Chain A
Amino acid sequence: MRNLWAIYTKELRSYFVSPVAYVIAGVFLFLSGYLFRNILMQFNFWCIQFSQRAQFMQGGMPNLNLNEMVVTQFFGVMDFIWLLVVPMLTMRLLAEEKKNGTMELLMTSPISTVEILLGKFFACLTLYMTIVALTLVYCGILELYGDPDWGPIWSAYLGYLLLGGTFIGVGMLASSVTENQIVAVLLAFGALLTLWLIDWSASFAGPTAAKVLQYLSIIQHLQDFQRGVIDTSDVVFYLSFIFFSLFVTTRVLESRRWRR
C-alpha cells in the first residue's frame, strides 16, 4: 500500500510539474466549452421557436426536456474527446520509464509489478476525473437558468469514471509494449477506436456474433449511464475490462522474466 502510494504521488506530481496536465485540461475545456455553448444555443433557439408558434399549436407545447436535449447531448460528444485525449495521458506512463531506464530501478526495488501499475493507473484516473469534474461548471450554469434533473447527471459522471478507467487501462497496455511514446499513443487510438466502432459490424454479422460485438462496444454501455440508468451489467463490463487490460499489462511487463 505504501509502495502504491509512493508511485501514485510521484506520477501525479509529474503530471502537474510538466505542462501536460494544464495543456490537456485547457484544450479539453476549450473544446467542451465550445460544444456546450452550441448545444445550449441550439436548445435556446428551439425554445424561442416553439414559444412563438405555441399559439398555432393544438394541444400545447411539445415537451422540451433540458436533460435530454442538452445534458445527454453534451455528454454524448464529450466521450469522443476523451477517446482522443486519454491516450495522450497514458502514453508516457510505462514507455517513458522504459526509455529512461528507470524501469530498471522500479523492477529491482522491493515492490511488485501490480503496485507499480495500480499506482500509475490511479494517478492517471485522478487527473482524468479532476478534468472531468471541471465540467460540473456547465451543469451549474444549467442549474442557474433552468431546472435539470441531477440524477442522470450523477450517473453520467459515474459512467465517465468507469469509461475513463477503461480508456486508461487500454492506454497503459499500449504504453507497456513499446519504448516509443508515439507508438504507444497510436496503438491506444487504434484499439479504442476499434472498440468504439465494433458494434457497427454487428449489423452485418450473425445473430450470436452481433450480440458479442455489441456487448464489446465500449460506448454502448455508456448510453445507459447518460440516461440515468445504472445497470449492474454495464458496471461489470467496465470493471472486467479494466481488470483484464491491467492484468495483460502486468504479464507484458513481467514477460522479460520468461521471454527468451
Chain B
Amino acid sequence: MIEVDQLSKEYGDVTAVDGVSFRAERGQILGFLGPNGAGKTTTMRMLTCYLPPSAGTASVDGYDVVDESMEVRRRIGYLPESPPVYMDMTVDAYLGFVARIKGVPTNQMRARIDETMEKTGVAHVRSNVIGHLSKGYRQRVGLAQALVHNPSVLILDEPTVGLDPKQIIEIREVIKSLRGEHTIVLSTHILPEVSMTCEKVVIISQGRIVGEGSPESLTAQLKESDVLHAQVLGPVEAVGEALRSIDGVLDARQEGDDSQADSWVISVTPGQDVRDAVSRAIIDGGFSLRELRSQDMSLEDIFLRLTTEETTV
C-alpha cells in the first residue's frame, strides 16, 4: 500500500513536483500518466527513498520514506527508466548480487532467483552476459531485479520505453501477471498502456495531479463535450455551415485527410442529444447521411485536454 500526501520536490527555483497526493491499495496497479518532464520520475525517486521530498510525506506499507527509509527499501522493488544492470555480469550473477544486497536470506536465495527468472522469462539466458542481451531482455532482467526479493510494492518507471511492439506486449503481460501479489506503480507517457494494464490512473502534468480515477470514471468525469462522428456526402462548406448552425453544436470540422473528406467530427454541448437535429439538418440541406454515431472521449483525448489546459492556465 502506498500513501502520498502533499508531496513536493524543489530543485533550486524549479518545482518538479508540487503537492501531489494519491493512494494505491494493496494489489492494485496504479498508472502514473504524464508527458515527459511532468515529475513522474522525481515522484518515484522520492517513493523509493532515492531523493528526499522538499515537503509532504509518503509512506509504503505504513513506513515513512524519510524516517524509516531502510524498512521502505526492504519492501520496494524499483525499476528505473534505464535498467540498473552491470553489463559485465551474467544474469545469474547479477540477480545473485541484487538478492544479497536486498537482504534475501541465503537459504532462500536460489529458489527466489529461479522463481523470478521463470516469471520474467529470462531463465534460458541465465548464463549470458547482460551486455550481450537485447534491450528487451535487459528490461526483463531489470524487472527481475525489482522482483527478486518479493517486495510488496513495485515501482516501475516507464517499463516499456524503447522496446519494440512485440517486446512491449511481452513486458505488459509480465506486469499484468503480477497483479494482486504486489502493489504496482507504473509510469508512462503512453496512453493505451494505462487503459490496458492499470486499475487506477493518476494524471500528472507540470508537477501537479490534474486527474485521478479509474480509466472509465476519468472518461465520464472529465467529459466536457460529447463528440459525434458523421459521414456526410455533399459540398464541404455547405455541410459545415449547416452543421454549425444547429442549436447545441459547438463546432464541426472535417476529420483526417482528403480521402475521408466526408468524415466529420461534431462537438456537442454535453447532456444534450442533438442526433435527431443533426440528421434532420443534413437531410433538409439535400446532403446524404451515411453514418452517425456518438463517441466517448478516449483516455488520449482526456490526457491531451488536461495537460494542454494546464499549460494555458
Q: Which residues of A contact B89 (CB under 8 A)?
A: 10, 13-14
In the complex formed, the residue of B with least CB distance to A256 is: B51
Tell yes or no: A105 within 8 A of B by CB. yes
Tell yes or no: B23 within 8 A of A by CB. no
Report B209-227 CB contacts with A as 1/0, cut-off 8 Å.
0000000000000000000
Report A2-24 CB contacts with B as 1/0, cut-off 8 Å.
11001100100110011000000
In the complex formed, the residue of B with least CB distance to A257 is: B52
Evaluate contact between A101 and B101: CB separation under 8 angstroms: no
Contact of A101 among B11, B84, B102 (CB under 8 A): B84
Q: Which residues of A contact B80 (CB under 8 A)?
A: 101, 104-105
Evaluate contact between B101 and A108: CB separation under 8 angstroms: no
A257 to B70, CA, bound (A): 15
Tell yes or no: B8 within 8 A of A by CB. no
Tell yes or no: B22 within 8 A of A by CB. no
A258 to B73, CA, bound (A): 19
Q: Which residues of B contact A108 (CB under 8 A)?
A: 48-50, 73, 76, 78
Contact of A17 among B52, B88, B100 (CB under 8 A): B88
Evaluate contact between B50 and A109: CB separation under 8 angstroms: no
Tell yes or no: B286 within 8 A of A by CB. no
Q: Which residues does B use to contact A, with CB under 8 Å?
A: 10-12, 45, 48-52, 70, 73-74, 76, 78, 80-89, 93, 97-98, 100-103, 145
Separation in Å of the A41 CB from the closest CB of chain B? 42
Q: Which residues of B contact A42 (CB under 8 A)?
A: none
Evaluate contact between A109 and B84: CB separation under 8 angstroms: no
Question: Assuming A10-B86, A101-B81, A258-B52, what are 4 further A-B pairs, CB within 8 angstroms?
Answer: A6-B97, A18-B88, A104-B45, A110-B70
A6 to B96, CA, bound (A): 9
Q: Which residues does A use to contact B, with CB under 8 Å?
A: 2-3, 6-7, 10, 13-14, 17-18, 100-111, 256-258, 260
Given contacts A102-B86, A108-B76, A108-B78, contact A3 B101 (CB under 8 A): yes
Evaluate contact between A102 and B85: CB separation under 8 angstroms: yes
A256 to B9, CA, bound (A): 12
Separation in Å of the A220 CB from the closest CB of chain B? 39
Q: Which residues of B contact A17 (CB under 8 A)?
A: 88
Separation in Å of the B116 CB from the closest CB of chain A? 15
Given contacts A3-B101, A109-B102, contact A260 B10 (CB under 8 A): yes
Q: Tell me what chain B mostly uses at the interface: helix, strand, loop, or mixed.
A: loop
Evaluate contact between B102 and A14: CB separation under 8 angstroms: no
A191 to B48, CA, bound (A): 35
Separation in Å of the B113 CB from the closest CB of chain A? 14
Q: Which residues of A contact B84 (CB under 8 A)?
A: 100-105
A7 to B52, CA, bound (A): 24
Contact of A106 among B74, B82, B101 (CB under 8 A): B101
Evaluate contact between A14 and B88: CB separation under 8 angstroms: yes
Evaluate contact between B50 and A104: CB separation under 8 angstroms: yes
In the complex formed, the residue of B with least CB distance to A18 is: B88
In the complex formed, the residue of A with least CB distance to B71 is: A110
A105 to B97, CA, bound (A): 11
Separation in Å of the B238 CB from the closest CB of chain A? 59
Evaluate contact between B82 and A10: CB separation under 8 angstroms: no
A3 to B48, CA, bound (A): 19
A201 to B285, CA, bound (A): 98
Q: Which residues of B contact A106 (CB under 8 A)?
A: 101
Q: Which residues of B contact A109 (CB under 8 A)?
A: 73, 98, 101-102
Q: Which residues of B contact A257 (CB under 8 A)?
A: 51-52
Q: Which residues of B contact A100 (CB under 8 A)?
A: 84-87
A62 to B4, CA, bound (A): 83
What are 11 residue pairs bridging A and B, where the CB atoms are less than 8 Å apart in the complex?
A10-B89, A13-B89, A13-B93, A101-B81, A102-B86, A104-B50, A110-B74, A110-B103, A111-B101, A256-B50, A258-B52
Separation in Å of the B167 CB from the closest CB of chain A? 20
Separation in Å of the B240 CB from the closest CB of chain A? 53
In the complex formed, the residue of A with least CB distance to B83 is: A101
Separation in Å of the B93 CB from the closest CB of chain A? 8
Evaluate contact between A3 and B52: CB separation under 8 angstroms: no
Q: Which residues of B contact A103 (CB under 8 A)?
A: 84
Q: Which residues of A contact B10 (CB under 8 A)?
A: 260
Q: Which residues of B contact A256 (CB under 8 A)?
A: 50-51
Separation in Å of the A5 CB from the closest CB of chain B? 8
In the complex formed, the residue of A with least CB distance to B47 is: A108
Separation in Å of the A171 CB from the closest CB of chain B? 20
Q: Which residues of B contact A111 (CB under 8 A)?
A: 101
In the complex formed, the residue of A with least CB distance to B51 is: A256
